[in-house]
Structure 1
Amino acid sequence: MAKTLLSVIIPTYNVEKYIVDCVDSLLRQITAPAEIIIVNDGSTDGTLALVQQTYGHQPQVRIITTPNGGAGKARDVGIEAAQGEFLFFCDPDDIVPDGFVAELQQVTDAHPEVDLFCFSSQMFEDGHENNTRPKVRHEQFGLHSPQQVLSRLLRNGSYTSAAWNYAVKKSLVMQRGLRFVERVHEDHKFTLSVFIYARQAWVSQHVYYSQRVRSGSLTNSRKNDDYFMQRYNAFMQTYGLLKQGMDKSPLKNELEKAYLLHSFRLMIYLSLYNGTPVPEYVIHAIQFMGSQHKPVGVKEWLLINRPRMFIRLQKYKVDKEQKKIA
């Protein structure tokens, strides 16, 4: 019996307009016994009927329906059902460019010790697939320590906790008991755990993920106070994992600082682009937690020592940018 290299897990909720583009981009690359697991998360539109009619006869496609519980719970259902050596979590409105599966196969044949497969990604506005801009940007390729890969992404500002950021060995996920669990910000702890606990990473030179930016999605919608509090709590839990999950070393100290500053900047920009004040608990956390690290350069010094001034300067830039767009 042939080994199943890959299980692609797609949590799916009310995306009948996009799901065919997504699955078709994968079917161009995937043949059985590799598999695409579509987890229908209680869709109320025509998504389920569409995927059943379009892909129900495909031997490499499995369709599972669950009560609505959010993308995290749907991914967890997919993990339990997956038979592949590697897991890849794809969002249902995005596209996977050609070459992804072929390179993963080549890498695992040549380097069976690899348990994390990384690649760059891009974004495009809904309806403008050829107008792309970079998202995750890798700058060094081939075999690397996963922790060094994480450090470089944090330093260049392109790290994302999104679960489509990599393919990971299922054995690592199962051994470490990694699950998404939460309904909101469910991927922060999972993704950082993957980078901390993986032993060997391969970084591709290619862009293997295209993220669709569309109105109405969580990524592109206005956020309320609960969203920011949940985002902050996810950061605190994940930062705690980083502090506890690695042995003491210069790299651990470097990662703690890089993750801290990256997360604070992201929370600031999320508020500014949302048109809402940066929460006071975020400012207090910057002042307290940032003081434990030595800043390098003027921007880091401002963020750590004068966060309100840093926020005012960033607000000026954001306002100027939005006026140009308007």
Structure 2
Amino acid sequence: MGAEVSIIIPVYNTDKFIIDCLDSVRRQSVQGIEIICVNDGSTDGSLQILKSYAEKDSRIQVVSQKNQGVSVARNEGIGAAAGKYIQFLDSDDMLEPEALEYAVQQMEEKQLDVFFYDARAIFESAQLEKEKSSYKTYYHRENHYQDVLTGSQLFTEWIKDGGFRPNGNLQMIRRDFLLQSGVKFIPGIVQEDNAFTAEVMLHARRVCHENEALYIRRVRSDSIMTRPQSFINAYGYFRCAMALERYFFYPAISGDTRSALQIFCQTLLKNMEGIYSNISEAEKEKIQTLPEEERAAMLYLCWYNEQAVKNRTEMIKKASELKVLNEKKEILAKQYQKVAEDKQRLQKKLESLEKHQEMLKADFTAIQQSLSFRLGRKLTWLPRNLRDAFIR
């Protein structure tokens, strides 16, 4: 009877952690597993530990190769796998005890090509936990995607809401589907999970995700994700973007998925340009080792993205200046409105005062007329009375 799950573990100089890794796999509750350890030319005690474990546990196979990188090691493991399902595991990470049983249950019940899940992070030291605190929540998705979707649909949703985690380990894959798809890890690069995970999703017909932390991600110093960025990181992003380019022309991909893929590729190229522009001149010189076409394409894309960043920065600056001008315009408009309202109010007050003045004038004229009449009568009456008095 064939194995239910093939666990593929690429190993390179992780003798400090490989025991924890192997023990976490050996204590899995699911039955019928094979553990394929691909020793990628380790120079420490990793190979000796692997051989020792293989002697004790017949489920463990050890495959050795010269150092060619994690992509080649994983591809070698895929070729050697015989299980119904494939699970990748890094040699410094671990699985929760019920992880494989839970994942197999999901795969069987829902007839999935791929089952995605979450992880929890553990840190090598308190200092590293402080420096890389973003990893505490990075592998946990807030939104829920339990419905069975096509891989393209879930990829589109994840790109829209930021849930896409390009980690080849946080998924269980049906082996027949993976072989039929032809998807493999790109040899000779880092950041290889970006292309692999996206390609797997674009091919998958039935996938789903559960917010279960089945994987234990060890954050340690001097690992690919914690060491300083170098040319190889920029080159990895470049190769992943180029590998995904052909999917833009797949007729089966919807317009929404094509837009999501475009956003993702732009992010990869932005990462490439950001790294390349900030590494040392000595690191930049490594681009000269690339084939001419790759070198030309990468340099052009670095320049193009740099210009795009500059243009975007300039647009943001102009938009900010325009916002300030609009705010000033609004303030002036409000001030003008207030002045206009004050003017209208004063105009009404002036009109009221003018009316009051007219009334006072009318009253004064009436008073004057009344006084003149009475005074005239007096002046007329007095001489006549004096004259009559003398005549008598």
TM-score range, shorter chain: 0.7 to 0.9
Q: 1:135 aligns with which of 101, 126, 138?
A: 138
Q: Which residue of 1 aligns with 2:221?
A: 215
- Equivalent residue letter for 2:138: K
- Specify the SS of the correspondent of 1:134: helix
- Equivalent residue letter for 1:92: S
Residue 266 of structure 1: how far off its partner (Å): 4.2
Q: Does 1:59 align with 2:68?
A: no
Q: Does structure 1 retain, via aligned residues, the 8 Å contact 2:140–2:211?
A: no
Q: Quick one: distance in 2 between partners of 1:237 and 1:184?
A: 12
Which structure 2 residue ranges, 5 or more long, are not aligned?
285-298, 318-392
Task: Provide closer, same or farther for how the CA distance between residues 242 and 182 of structure 1 changes in structure 2, counting only shifts above 3 A.
Answer: same
Map Cα deviations across residues 279-326 of structure 1 (whole Å, 9 max, x no partner).
8843614767xxxxxxxxxxxxxx695057779xxxxxxxxxxxxxxx
Q: Which residue of 1 aligns with 2:167?
A: 162
Q: Which residue of 2 aligns with 1:314?
A: none
Task: Provide closer, same or farther for how the CA distance between residues 216 and 286 of structure 1 changes in structure 2, counting only shifts above 3 A.
Answer: same
Map Cα deviations across residues 172-230 of structure 1 (whole Å, 9 max, x no partner).
22112222241213333322210000110121220122222221112211222343134
- Equivalent residue letter for 2:153: Q
Bigger Rg, which one: 2
Structure 2 length normalisation: TM-score?
0.66
Q: Quick one: distance in 1 between partners of 2:48 and 2:4?
A: 28
Task: Provide closer, same or farther for how the CA distance between residues 205 and 188 of structure 1 changes in structure 2, counting only shifts above 3 A.
Answer: closer
Q: 2:124 aligns with which of 123, 126, 135?
A: 126
Q: Does 1:256 align with 2:256?
A: no
Q: Quick one: distance in 2 between partners of 1:193 and 1:73?
A: 17
Q: Quick one: distance in 2 between partners of 1:117 and 1:225?
A: 33
How high is the sequence identity, in percent, across the aligned residues? 23
Q: Which residue of 2 aligns with 1:50?
A: 49
Map Cα deviations across residues 247-276 of structure 1 (whole Å, 9 max, x no partner).
252322332243134435544675799799
Q: Which residue of 2 aligns with 1:173?
A: 178
Q: Which residue of 2 aligns with 1:33?
A: 32
Map Cα deviations across residues 221-247 of structure 1 (whole Å, 9 max, x no partner).
122234313422322322x03313452
Q: Quick one: distance in 2 between partners of 1:90 and 1:274?
A: 30
Task: Provide closer, same or farther for how the CA distance between residues 37 and 248 of structure 1 changes in structure 2, counting only shifts above 3 A.
Answer: closer
Task: Provide closer, same or farther for how the CA distance between residues 159 and 46 of structure 1 changes in structure 2, counting only shifts above 3 A.
Answer: same
Task: Provide closer, same or farther for how the CA distance between residues 147 and 310 of structure 1 changes in structure 2, counting only shifts above 3 A.
Answer: farther
Q: Does structure 1 retain, via aligned residues, the 8 Å contact 2:40–2:69?
A: yes
- Specify the SS of the correspondent of 1:184: coil
- Specify the SS of the correspondent of 1:88: strand
Q: Does structure 1 retain, via aligned residues, the 8 Å contact 2:194–2:240?
A: yes
Q: Does 1:227 align with 2:240?
A: no
Structure 1 length normalisation: TM-score?
0.78
Residue 118 of structure 1: how far off its partner (Å): 0.2
- Equivalent residue letter for 2:42: S
Pairs within 5 Å for 1:53-202:
53-112=52-111, 114-127=112-125, 133-138=136-141, 139-142=143-146, 143-185=148-190, 186-202=192-208
Q: Does structure 1 retain, via aligned residues, the 8 Å contact 2:30–2:100?
A: no
- Equivalent residue letter for 1:180: F
- Specify the SS of the correspondent of 1:16: coil
Q: Quick one: distance in 2 between partners of 1:77 and 1:68?
A: 12
Query: What RMSD, in angstroms, separates the aligned Cα atoms of the two structures?
Result: 3.2
Q: Does structure 2 retain, via aligned residues, the 8 Å contact 1:8–1:36?
A: yes
**After the TM superposition, which of the residue ranges 220-229 and 117-126 deviates more from structure 2?**
220-229
**After the TM superposition, which of the residue ranges 50-59 and 131-140 deviates more from structure 2?**
131-140
Q: Would you say how many aligned residue pairs link Structure 1 and Structure 2?
A: 293
Q: Does structure 2 retain, via aligned residues, the 8 Å contact 1:264–1:286?
A: no
Q: Does structure 1 retain, via aligned residues, the 8 Å contact 2:234–2:273?
A: no
Q: Quick one: distance in 2 between partners of 1:127 and 1:250?
A: 45
- Equivalent residue letter for 2:136: R
